[in-house]
Amino acid sequence: MQTIDPPTIPSIQHLRFANVCAVIPALDEEDSIRVVIEGLLRHGVGWVIVGDNGSTDRTAAIARAAGASVVAAPRRGYGSACLAALSAVPSGARAVVFCDADGADDLARLPDLVAPVVAGTHDLVIGSRVLGGADRGALSLPQRVGNLAAAAMMRVLYGVRVTDLGPFRCVDAGALTRMEMADPAFGWTAEMQVKAYRMRLRVAEVAVRALVRRGGDSKISGRFWPIFRAGWGIISTILRHRATPLPRVVSGTPPSDLATHL
């Protein structure tokens, strides 16, 4: 497995991210959405688009006031919110960075995720909370166990070195289009990774720290059925795409070591 030291990534501190679009799926996150959007804009991200998954609080209004565009996603589901936001991504976007609306993603590491994609050395960079650790209370035991199990399944079925299926990630816009993403629920991140591995895209992980959410309630942790549904959605996605025909792949997509750590 190739290892790249962060200082060798081309000019992280000097890269500008005006051609990067941030996508945030959100449901009732009025306590944290402003901080997340402002953090993204401070890094020079060109566009921020919130996929509002039917919020009943002031999430949408606060997001607009903070400088984001908001797209309604009436069908409930994590993937549905992402798909709605992606429908508004400008054609000039070079890369798309995904993060959650609850403030649990460490945006200080955003340049480490985005720079390799903007520089053209990688197609997908995933923030690994396994490599970076987590603040106390940031991840529940079922979340930790489920994530480790899903990553292990990917390693066995797809022969890749992967540690996490975390939401904080950056993907090349062209590669994302070729993936033809479709999962409407919590299988979204698994679908993206499985397709990237099967399409032999250049995939890497960087260490990111999981933070405690800034407010609101988790849509999964602490409740059995939401945890079960999310877990089953991820596992079934990993298994289903093992035998599903690949999306159309543009000729010349470069093969690579399928997963590296930056």
The C-alpha atoms of residue 85 and residue 25 are separated, in whole angstroms, by 8
Domains of the chain: 18-246+257-261 (3.90.550.10)
pLDDT of residue 140: 82
Pairing between β-strand 124-128 and β-strand 169-172 as defined by DSSP bridges: antiparallel
Using one digit for the tens of pLDDT, what is the confidence trace for 141-182? 888 888 999 999 999 999 999 999 999 999 999 999 999 999
DSSP SS3 for 151: helix
Ordered strands of the 169-172 beta sheet: 69-72, 47-52, 20-26, 95-98, 169-172, 124-128, 203-207, 260-261
Using one digit for the tens of pLDDT, what is the confidence trace for 30-83? 999 999 999 999 999 999 999 999 999 999 999 999 999 999 998 999 999 999
| Residue 172 parent element (H or E) | strand 169-172
The C-alpha atoms of residue 179 and residue 147 are separated, in whole angstroms, by 22
